[in-house]
Amino acid sequence: MATFTKRVFTLHAWLGLIAGGFILVFSLTGAALVFSHELDAALNRQQRIIAAPAAGQHPLPYDELYARTRAYAAPRGYAVGAFRELPKQPTGTIDVVLLKGEEYQNVFLNPYTGQVLGPQQHELTRWLLELHYQFFLGQVGEALAACFALALIGSVLTGLVVYRKHLLPVLLFRQKINWRNWRTAASGLHRVLGVWTWLFNLMIATSGVWFLLYLLEPASWQQAPPTAPPAPVATSLDAVVREAQRRLPGARLTYLNFPRAAGATTGQLYLDLPGRWWLGEWATTVTFDARTGQITETQLEADLPLSTQVSSTLGVLHFGQYGGLLLKLLYCFCGLLTSTISLTGFLLWWRRKRPGSARQGALGKRACVSA
C-alpha cells in the first residue's frame, strides 16, 4: 500500500507541476468572473444603468426596439443577432449582440427610449473570459485548457488518495498548520486547503472539460466559410412574445435570438420557468418563423434531452448562477484558495529541488506518503 501511495504522490506532484501555472490562471480569472455582471455594470455604468422611468412609463414594444437597433447597426455593416440579458430591474438596459460574419459587438439599448448607447466601453470581463478558457490562443488555447482541466481533475483525485488520512481531521477543524517557517506553513496550507476545496475543484474542472468536448469533433477545427448577412425579422416580435407567454403562463422572457446567417428563417425566445433553477434561465425555448411569426416548436425544460440538461446544469454550477451574492462570494473565495494551493504546491516542489535540500525533500516526501 505504501508503494501505491508513493506512486500516486509522484503523479500528484507531476500533475500539479505541469498544470500549476494554468490552474493559477483558471482560479484567479474564475474568481473575478463570478462577478462578471457586477464588473460590467461598474465599468460600463453609463451604458448598463439608466435613470428610473417616470411613473406609468413602460418599455417600448420589441418591434420598435428592434427597428431602432437595426437603424443603428445596418449603416455600420452589422446585423442584429440577439437581445441578450433582458433587464430584471427598471434601471437596466438591454444587452444587444450585433454580428458581422464571425465578428460580434455588444451595444446597449435603453428599453424606454430606444436609444442605442453605443459599443461596450470597457471589456475587462471579455478579456478575462478569453484568458480563462483560451489563453488568447483561440481553439488551440481551448484544447490546452481542456488538457489542464483534466490535469486538475487528476490532481484532485490523486490528492484525495495521498491525504486521505487527513480528510476527517481537516473537516472537523482538528488539523493544525505549523507556522514555524514557510516550508511547514506551505505544506500545511496545501494539505488543508486541498481538502476543503477538493469537491469544488472537481466540479469546476469536470464542467470545464464537458464544455470543451466539442473539440473532439473534426468539424470544430474547420474554418467556417464567410456567411452573408441574414434577412431581418419580417414579423411582429411582440405578437410572438404574447403568444409564447399565453402558451407558457408564468414564464419570464430572458433572451431573444434572431436569424444569424443568410437563409436562416427562424428565431428563438428563451424563457425561464419557475421550479428548475438548476437548468438556468434559458432552458425553455420557443422557436418561431421570422417571416410569418408562426411558432414552430416549443421545447420545455422538463423535456430536454438528458445531455442538454446535464450541460445546462453544469453551466449553472460552473459559473455560480444561483444562490445570489453569498454563493458568488463563496465561489470567489474557493477560487482564491485554489490559487493558494497552486502556489504552495510550487513552493513544495521548489523546496525539494533546491541544491542542498535533497535530504529535506526526501523526508518531506516520505512524510506525505506515510500520511
User: In terms of domains, do 259 and 142 share one?
Assistant: no
What's 316-366 look like in SS3? HHHHCCCCHHHHHHHHHHHHHHHHHHHHHHHHHHHHHHCCCCHHHHHHHHH
Assigned domain for 48 exists: no
What is the crossing angle of helices 324-353 and 2-33, to 10°?
130
Assigned domain for 43 exists: no
User: What is d(CA 107, CA 71) in angstroms, rounded to the nearest whole number?
Assistant: 13
Segments forming the whole domain that contains residue 177: 2-34+128-222+323-370
User: In terms of domains, do 311 and 360 share one?
Assistant: no
**Residue 235 has which C-alpha cell?**
414579423
User: In terms of domains, do 158 and 172 share one?
Assistant: yes
Assigned domain for 44 exists: no
Which residue, 319, 335, 362, sits at the end of a domain?
Answer: 319
pLDDT digits (tens, 9 = 90+) for 88-122: 899 999 999 999 987 889 999 999 999 999 888 88
Split at pLDDT 50, 70, 90, the class of 360 is very low
User: In terms of domains, do 143 and 266 share one?
Assistant: no
User: In terms of domains, do 197 and 214 share one?
Assistant: yes
Assigned domain for 8 exists: yes
Cα-based torsion angle of the residue sequence 363, 367, 370, 371 in order, rounded to the nearest 10 degrees: -170
Within 8 A by CB and 6+ apart from 124, the residues are 39, 43
User: In terms of domains, do 169 and 275 share one?
Assistant: no
Assigned domain for 42 exists: no
User: In terms of domains, do 218 and 364 share one?
Assistant: yes
Which residue, 277, 303, 319, sits at the end of a domain?
Answer: 319
Assigned domain for 134 exists: yes
R_g of the chain computed on alpha carbons: 25
Split at pLDDT 50, 70, 90, the class of 364 is very low
User: In terms of domains, do 144 and 214 share one?
Assistant: yes
pLDDT digits (tens, 9 = 90+) for 115-173: 999 888 888 998 999 999 999 999 999 999 999 999 999 999 999 999 888 889 998 88
User: In terms of domains, do 234 and 90 share one?
Assistant: yes
Query: How many domains does the structure of the chain reveal?
Result: 2
Look at the alpha carbons of 291, 297, 301, 306 in this order and tell me if their dihedral is positive or negative.
negative
pLDDT digits (tens, 9 = 90+) for 36-58: 989 988 999 989 999 999 998 99
pLDDT digits (tens, 9 = 90+) for 59-75: 999 999 999 999 999 99
Q: Which amino acid is at 183?
A: R
Assigned domain for 92 exists: yes
User: What is d(CA 186, CA 348) in angstroms, rounded to the nearest whole number?
Assistant: 7
CA distances from 201 to 42, 256, 274, 298, 308 (A): 29, 33, 29, 36, 22
User: In terms of domains, do 205 and 333 share one?
Assistant: yes
Assigned domain for 278 exists: yes
